[in-house]
Amino acid sequence: MKDSIRESLSYWGLYARMLRVKKEITPQSVTFGNDRQQYFLYYEPKNRTSDKVIVWVHGGGWNAGSPKLFDFVGQCVAKNGYRFLSLGYRLSPKNKYPCQIEDVCNGYTAAVSFLRQQGIDTSKVIVSGPSAGAHLSAILCYNKKVQEEYGVDLSPVIGFIGVGGPYCFSEKDSLSVRLLLNQLFTKGYDRTQGEPCALMTKSEIPMLLIQSRHDGLISYSCAERFYEKAKELGNPCELYSVVDQKNTHSWYTAGMFLETRETNRGLDQFFTWIENL
């Protein structure tokens, strides 16, 4: 309960920090569908230091958020020398699952195609997402049925990073998560068809899960179960426990990108893991 209250009280401080972020890079906006939410933003770093590309799927409880809202993430990643693409998708409750995973799959394909058209090397792609974005990007990376259904080629992907993701559904989910899932799925829908833990198949893509024991929204056991399922299948996986003081859900899934590697160990782990791939 204490962590849930801390999470609820964190929003104003987080938004205040977001508004103060200096926008050093103007991203390119590219549409991949007819809906206004079907677009991605591309950030070309001023001083590129890596040939790896990060494709990021935003969070927001499936019913909120956009690449533009999370511009500060793109600014942070590009400032650290990486090319960065931020994917949008249709939101609930107006749009029910599987609209979201359809958009993430099509958006990923469009993003890789866009990079290739620009003459950019796409042989080292890292897919990542926080919260709802971790849920969707995990399904993208670790379910062969979804990949086949939407014609997704994951051969360029060399790693996946999920931050604070709801990978497993259970009766122990917080009230907030249960309400969000009720908005995401139609009544009577088989939710195992939208649950990363149930959908995970054998994969060679290395996985890093970043999770806090003081999340206040998503139980730490959710990441533990997903980690254990990966190990059972033989999928390479690491589980990192957040040690920063700002360790509630919104602060470590999004707020860490408002800090630096020197001040935030979760952010440093994010980039260190990518560097070591």
Q: Provide DSSP, 207-247.
A: EEEEE-TT-SSS-HHHHHHHHHHHHHHT--EEEEE--SS--
With 0-12 / 13-18 / 19 or more C-beta atoms within 10 angstroms meaning exposed / middle / buried, residue 83 is buried
The β-bridge partners of 42 are: 28, 85
Average pLDDT over residues 60-74: 97
pLDDT at 8: 86
State residue 1's pLDDT score.
61
- The H or E element containing residue 114 is helix 99-117
Q: Is the model's pLDDT at 205 over the cut of 90?
A: yes
pLDDT in tens, 8-65: 888 888 888 988 898 999 999 999 999 999 999 999 999 999 999 999 999 999 999 9
Does the reported pTM lie above 0.95?
Answer: yes
DSSP SS3 for 42 = strand
The conformational region for residue 232 under phi > 0 = left, psi -120 to 50 = alpha, else beta, is alpha
Assess whether pLDDT exceeds 90 at residue 137.
yes
Which pLDDT value is given to residue 2?
A: 84
Cis peptide before 98 (omega within 30 of 0): yes
Give the number of residues written for the chain.
277
Question: What is the mean pLDDT of the segment spanning 241-267?
Answer: 97
* 107-116 pLDDT, tens digit each: 999 999 999 9
Check pLDDT > 80 for residue 190: yes
Average pLDDT of 94-114?
98
Distances (CA, A) of 163 to 26, 45, 187, 241: 25, 23, 28, 10
Share of residues in the chain with pLDDT > 90 (%): 91
Give pLDDT, residue 171. Answer: 72
